[in-house]
Chain A
């Protein structure tokens, strides 16, 4: 049994703060947990904080991309926040574009972006 990354519900948002170096099994479990929790809680948005992650390799990158697509189909927007500059530079060279993954510099900006994206269409700027 490996540890699981906690998924916290705050209002209609799910917050995932990754605090440890991820084993592949934890990455797969997180992807499962998130899709279930989105449906279960009717969440409108997901914020994944990766500021503690020292690397993002193809496995984690794929999870972030897949999660963005799955959550969109389930009616929630995902924002990945806090990617370290060295990680971003490495991802590009690795060849991962993370197309379709919305990102924000930090948690505060991520939440602001999410609020804008999930606002009712009528009051959307």
Chain B
């Protein structure tokens, strides 16, 4: 993923409980509104953030969500990063398959979040997982 110019310092939310996932969601929503993303784009981005924030909590044992407005060639968007220090995802490609879950979820979180945003990147290893997403306005 390209390093985009950020329009403001990143905001962060530490996630250690499901109420923190709500807080992270609200932070992303506020940034998206401020950057002028359409309602549909906001909804898609916040839904993706909800999925990734929950995964971070459930499988990664919690972590940090960092978000910032970004711009590129006149476009404005929102960058969000989810970092945990959990066990990592052994097979990222498999985890990105619709319907694949190691637990009792529906296996839609990762694959669905990927579809809902414009850019999506996962780095995962035994030291933890980082997922980065960008949603552009329009």
- Chain A interface (Cβ within 8 Å of chain B)? 2, 21-25, 54-59, 61-62, 84-87, 89-90, 93-96
Contact = CB atoms under 8 A, between A and B. Distances in A.
Given A57-B47, A93-B44, A94-B115, 4 more contacts: A23-B21, A55-B46, A58-B109, A61-B106
Interface stretch (B22-30, B63-71, B121-129): B22-30
Interface residues of B, number: 27
Contact of B106 (A2, A21, A24, A62): A62
A93 B43 contact: no
Contact of A55 (B47, B109, B115): B47
Given A86-B39, A94-B47, A95-B112, A24 B54 contact: yes
Contacts of A94: 47, 51, 108, 112-113, 115-116
16 contacts: A55-B43, A58-B51, A58-B108, A62-B106, A84-B43, A85-B40, A89-B40, A89-B44, A90-B43, A93-B44, A93-B112, A94-B51, A94-B108, A94-B113, A94-B116, A96-B108
A58 B112 contact: yes
Contacts of B39: 86
A32 B130 CA distance: 34
Contact of B22 (A21, A84, A95): A21
B43 A87 contact: yes
B6 interface: no
Given A58-B109, A62-B106, A93-B115, A21 B26 contact: yes
Contacts of B40: 85-86, 89-90
B21 A58 contact: no
A24 B21 contact: yes
B35 interface: no
